[in-house]
Structure 1
Amino acid sequence: MDTDCTREELRVPALPAGTRLLHIGPHKTGTTAVQGALFAAKEEMARHGVDFPAHSRHPMEAVLAACARPAMMGDPVPTERHWRRLLDQVAATGERTSVISSEFFADAEDDATIARIVEQLGGADRVHVLVTLRPLTRIMPSQWQQYVQNGLRLGYEPWLEHMLRRAPYDRPTPSFWRRHRHDRLVERWAAATGPGRVTVVVVDDRDRDALMRTFEALLGLPGGLLRPVPETANRSLTLAETEMLRHLNKEFRGNELPEEFYSRLVRHGAIAHMKNACGPTPRDVKIRTPQWALEAASGIGAETAARIGSLGVRILGDPEALSRVPASGGQAGEPRLAPEVAAQALFGMLTAVAATNGTGKGRTVHRTSSKELVKVLGHRCLKRLRLR
């Protein structure tokens, strides 16, 4: 096992020029922050010989198509065209170093799919896989609220029961262990590239800049070039916000509404506007993981660390962090949704309706000013009154 605890103790050597660095996540391991920083610095990186070939911060549709995975609830179905476009962009980088990042690569189900992706991106001689890991105890609450944002109706503790105590542990979210049984994830990708072309980074939540510095070192970039970009639209929901959405999901499913309504009005309307307009406060109750689940997850983390250590891949960071039981799973308390938060969610849904044209296509709410949205909504109301 090749383990580097910190960059201060052992400098991380840059990958060979021409490498295609493939960051596969998984989810909730700092991927959004990395993607935002890479996209914001793409022009500066190009001056140092490193290309970010995607035209957006996160080429999610392309990767979902490559992995044959469904889109988020109600979103358009990804097609092979999306993946081919990304492959063309990667091919256009020629012999230069490039970096591609998407946590949805972790959703690839089988060895054949992973081998095809590696081959299409240039083969094992050029692709180097980067896996970022955090302890399961930190991932579980964040991943649950993300599933709720995609329509899940199950509460947190019942969901934990299914994931940790009810074999075969694949309902109601079968993607969870495909992503987060991290030893198996690393093993699948190492089989396609060889263990010498896989780097595992154990993310240190106490040092939020460390992950950016690791990317800079691997890509041969100057220190400090990659900087976090504020991304309120990707913040996690509080317990009260998640519970509000979970109960809305029950009503949505119970009334058999079209899934495209969920994408347009709920995810890109109510939730997106609420996230941008309201930030968590010290009064908000966080999602609390019970002690039994913390201990179970830590046990899985210990097995994971031991197995990854035997695979021959390079490990940066402290693998023991994956198995530590945190002192607390979060504060107890009754979740209460502030009136202004509920108002912003409702306003987001209303403005999503106003921003949508007659063909069912429109801009997401957080990309449209409130003044413009109110103006559009007023015009539509007047139009309907005239029709009546």
Structure 2
Amino acid sequence: MSPVLLHIGPQKTGSTAIQRSMDASREALAEHGVYYPGPWYRMRTQASWAVMGTGSAVGRPAPDIAAWHELLDDIGSHTLRLTCLSSEALAMSDEAAVERIVAGLGGGENVRLVYVARRLDRLLPSHWQERVKSRLLWSYPQFLDLMLGEPDRADFEWRMMWRPQLVGEVVERWSAQIPVEQITVVVADEDDPGLLPRSFEELLGVPAGVLAAPTSGQNRSLTYAEAEAIRRVNHVFAEQGWSPEQYWRLVQAGVAESLKNAPLPPDAARMVGYTADQAARVDALADEQVAALTGSGAHLVGDPERLRTRGLLEPVSSQPPIAEVSLELLGSVVEGLVVGGQGLTKRKIRERRRAARAADPLATASAGSLARELARRARRRLPL
């Protein structure tokens, strides 16, 4: 197996943008000796979930470890000098999962790891949005109370936020299997969006400009009102007891996609307000991140001081509530529900047809196949 550059995100650190760039530049990367597996823009999610030993996302089928082995067979069959895999889900890996992943990729000496660190005050509202799109019922103030209160490592939502974002702990888990000098941490710079693609071009050993800017599929953040609209929909789903698959199709593939594809309102309310106590906690956590990063032994790209927040956060008394939404937002929500409902209906029709074919090949047969099946059954009944 060729050496592997493994990008583990984490979520909301520019992962989608760099994945879309590598996807759009797959042929150019191959010309420079880099294999970026398809067919999707990121590492196959079934493979990620399976090797991590976690459940799948809302409404998806349970992951099958065969997907991981198929991916390993794929990347083991090419002759290019380097493989690049990218999955922000892998930042959630525990120690046992890290060991499985690195062993499958040829061992620690064969893997170089890249992780992206982002300022915590920017991460918290982005992460709340992502969790709202996964059925979270908490308001933004409720979310901040838990995330910035006393650490509760037994809480699922606390782990979802902090396990992949505490950079010192992430580096420690992965350096148990990969030499720490082969781990690169890129410090995101909000004022330099070109830092990430430049860093990846260097890590991949390709000329500047090879990674094309993606022309579609950008993962824009939701506005506060948009996220609140989805959260209210979440309450309806919880009250009605609707299924995870219905949620996936109607809300994630329907409403959330409709909102993301809509133009960003120019007067959109932002979600970066912190009370004085919360701001002090963010400052302390950011200082801990910088200390952990500079003492980790990992290779650093960018300035760790960019992660500090002291003097940058202006405390607010409270997060202003969303009392009303625009007609445009309401229209996008309804449009998303309609589109999602159509997708759900089509899926159910396909499932019924598969079930009918399994029960009786004649149920959904074409004219030609129907004639062949009838002839086969007639022959079966004729005496020899």
Q: TM-score range by the shorter chain?
A: 0.7 to 0.9
Which residue, 327, 337, 360 being the options, matches 1:349? 337
- Equivalent residue number for residue 191 of structure 1: 176
Give the direction of change, closer, same or farther, for the CA distance of 1:355–1:252 in structure 2 (3 Å limit).
closer
Matched-pair contact (CA < 8 Å) for 1:118–1:124: yes
Residue in structure 2 matched with residue 372 of structure 1 by the alignment? none
Q: Deviations over 1:182-225 (max 9, x none)?
A: 11011111111011110111011111011101110111111011
Q: Percent of aligned pairs with the same residue? A: 31
Aligned mate of 1:48, from 23, 32, 36: 32
Are the aligned partners of 2:9 and 2:89 in contact in 1 as well (CA < 8 Å)?
yes
Match of 1:315, SS? strand
Q: Find the counterpart in structure 2 of residue 13 from structure 1.
A: none
**Superposition map of 1:228-267 within 5 A:** 228-231=213-216, 234-267=219-252
Structure 2 counterpart SS, 1:151: coil
Query: Residue 285 of structure 2 aligns to which amino acid in structure 1?
Result: I
Aligned pairs for 1:357-368 within 5 A = 357=345, 359-360=347-348
Of residues 316-325 and 200-209 in structure 1, the stretch that sits farther from structure 2 once superposed is 316-325
Distance in 1 (alpha carbons) for counterparts of 2:53 and 2:257: 26
Distance 1:259 1:324 in 2: 38
In 1, are the aligned partners of 2:279 and 2:313 still within 8 Å (CA)?
A: no
SS at structure 1 position matched to 2:185: strand
Q: Distance in 1 between matches of 2:342 and 2:282?
A: 44
How many angstroms does 1:55 deviate by? Answer: 2.0
1:90 pairs, out of 75, 79, 104, with: 75
Q: Does the 8 Å contact 2:167/2:292 carry over to 1?
A: no
In the TM superposition, what whole-angstrom CA distance separates every residue of 1:216-240 from its partner, at most 9, and x where no partner exists?
0111111011133144562211101
Q: Which runs of 5+ in 2 are unaligned?
A: 351-384
Secondary structure of the corresponding residue to residue 119 of structure 1: helix
Q: Larger Cα Rg: Structure 1 or Structure 2? A: 2
Q: Matches of 1:267 and 1:161 in 2, distance apart?
A: 26
Residue 114 of structure 2 aligns to a residue whose secondary structure is strand
- Can you give the 5+ residue segments of structure 1 that lack an aligned partner in the other structure? 1-16, 363-388
What is the DSSP-based 3-state SS (H/G/I as helix, E as strand, rest coil) of the residue aligned with 2:115? strand
Q: Residues 60-106 of structure 1: CA distance to partner in whole angstroms, max 9, x if unpaired?
A: 22111111122221122221122122212221234621111111111
Q: Distance in 1 between matches of 2:243 and 2:29?
A: 43
Distance 1:80 1:194 in 2: 27
* Closer/same/farther in 2, CA of residues 72 and 358 from structure 1, 3 Å limit: same
2:104, 2:246 → 1: CA distance? 35
- Displacement of 1:295 in angstroms is 2.6
Q: Aligned to 1:202, which of 183, 187, 212?
A: 187
2:362 match: none
> What are the within-5 Å matches in structure 2 for residues 129-148 of structure 1?
129-148=113-132
| 1:255-302 Cα deviation digits (max 9, x unpaired) | 2111110001111012212221x1222211111331432331221121
Correspondence list, 1:315-326, <5 A: 315-325=300-310, 326=312
Pick one of 152, 164, 184 that aligns with 1:179. 164
Contact 2:249–2:343 (8 Å) recurs in 1: no
User: What's 1:30 paired with?
Assistant: 14
What's the counterpart of residue 298 of structure 1?
283
Q: Which runs of 4+ in 1 moved over 6 A?
A: 329-332
TM-score between the two structures when normalised by the length of structure 2 = 0.84
Structure 1: which amino acid aligns with 2:282? A
Change (3 A) 1:339 1:87: same
Which AA in structure 2 matches 1:310? Answer: G
Please report the TM-score for the alignment, with normalisation by the length of structure 1.
0.83
Instruction: Measure how far apart 1:246 and its partner are.
Output: 0.8
2:326 to 335, 338, 345: 338
Secondary structure of the 1:243 match is helix
Report matched runs for 1:284-295 at 5 Å: 284-291=268-275, 292-295=277-280
Using the TM superposition, give the Cα deviation of residue 180 of structure 1 relative to its aligned residue in structure 2, in angstroms.
1.2
Q: Which amino acid aligns with 1:102?
A: S
The question of whether the paired residues in 2 share the 8 Å contact of 1:141 and 1:289 is answered with no
Q: Distance in 2 between matches of 1:22 and 1:207?
A: 23
